[in-house]
Amino acid sequence: MNILEENGFLPDFSKIQKDVLNKAKVMFLNSPHSPTGTVYQRELLKEAVDLCTENGIILVSDECYADLYYEKPPSSILEIPGAEECSIVLNSLSKRSMMTGYAVGFFASKNPDLLRPYDRMERKSVQGVATFIQDAAAAAFGDEKHPREMRDAYKRRLETLLPALQKAGCKVRKPGGTFFVWAKVPGEMTPVTFSEKLLLDKGINCVPGNLISQDFGGVNPGIKHVRFALVPPLEKVREAAERLVG
């Protein structure tokens, strides 16, 4: 499913052809969505649940950015009526707690039958997570203070960068979550030429959207966008904002 500006960066389930639904086994969703930052509302999640239930499809919801939001917390797929039969949630410490190197996450479902294949695979392919990493993961998942601090930090960085991007000619839709900004490049520039200009002239790094998007149906969803990551410290983001408009 192409995630396009004209659809508000939301999946359009009506575009899925019936022959695809007949053979599909799994649907993946991602909310808050990387890289657009879009948060899917309950109505859209309910639409996905109903579609998957009607067509015997397993719905896998990637919610690794669930703790990184700017306004109200996003809904989990497991909060949606009917999702208990068809849905699996994926989550991770890599985004919530910046513990990427620990490689710890979880999958969860209210339907045990959906998890049994994972159990069989894990027993044969994974030797187990080191106990000190398990202890660190338990501490991280049990603490809500540091995600709040991270949300506040990302919000300050976002509020610093957005006005500068707009002054630089980018069209930007304020993200609802994640630490990414999905910006439309100005004028007739391509993501690659815009990225090169920022890197060579301003010393600012961003990623061309067309290089991290997959062509589908003759369309590349990132063909006019670049991705900024709000991971540097606030003083570095301020410096980048000054360079953008300087």
Question: What CATH number does the domain containing 31 carry?
Answer: 3.40.640.10
Q: Is 103 found in the same domain as 16?
A: yes
Distance CA 97, CA 205 (A): 23
Domain boundary residue among 98, 122, 141?
A: 141
Strands (E), the chain: 26-30, 58-62, 87-92, 105-108, 171-172, 180-184, 207-208, 225-229
Q: Is 53 found in the same domain as 174?
A: no
pTM over 0.85: yes
Taking the C-alpha atoms of 74, 78, 82 and 85 in order, what is their torsion angle to the nearest 10 degrees? Answer: 150
Domain boundary residue among 141, 162, 179?
A: 141
Q: In terms of residue numbers, what domain contains 40?
A: 5-141
Question: What CATH number does the domain containing 218 carry?
Answer: 3.90.1150.10
Q: Is 162 found in the same domain as 135?
A: no
Cα 145 to chain centroid distance, Å, stands at: 22
User: pLDDT (tens digit, 9 = 90+) per residue, 58-72?
Assistant: 999 999 999 999 999
Q: Is 105 found in the same domain as 22?
A: yes
pLDDT of residue 126: 72
Q: Is residue 54 scored above 90 in pLDDT?
A: yes
Domains in the chain, number: 2
pLDDT of residue 38: 98
At residue 41 the predicted structure's pLDDT band, cuts being 50, 70 and 90, is very high
Q: Is 210 found in the same domain as 151?
A: yes
Q: Is 130 found in the same domain as 228?
A: no
Q: Is residue 124 scored above 90 in pLDDT?
A: no
At residue 210 the predicted structure's pLDDT band, cuts being 50, 70 and 90, is very high
Region 81-107: mean pLDDT is 94
User: pLDDT (tens digit, 9 = 90+) per residue, 181-204?
Assistant: 999 999 999 999 999 999 999 999
Name the DSSP class of 219: B
pLDDT of residue 127: 73
Q: Is 89 found in the same domain as 164?
A: no
Helix (H, G, I), strand (E, B) or coil at 217: coil
Q: 138: which 2 tokens?
A: 């338990």
Distance CA 212, CA 206 (A): 12
Q: Is 241 found in the same domain as 207?
A: yes
Domain boundary residue among 141, 173, 208?
A: 141
Q: Is residue 139 scored above 90 in pLDDT?
A: yes
Q: Is residue 92 scored above 90 in pLDDT?
A: yes
Q: Is 136 found in the same domain as 80?
A: yes
Region 65-84: mean pLDDT is 96
pLDDT of residue 174: 96
At residue 44 the predicted structure's pLDDT band, cuts being 50, 70 and 90, is very high
Q: Is 173 found in the same domain as 125?
A: no
Q: Are strands 180-184 and 225-229 parallel, antiparallel or unpaired?
A: antiparallel
Q: Is 134 found in the same domain as 196?
A: no
Candidate from 33-47, 94-108, 163-177 with smallest mean pLDDT = 94-108
Candidate from 82-91, 96-105, 156-165 with smallest mean pLDDT = 96-105
Cβ-count burial 182-196 (b if 16+ within 10 Å, e if not): bbbbeeebebeebbe
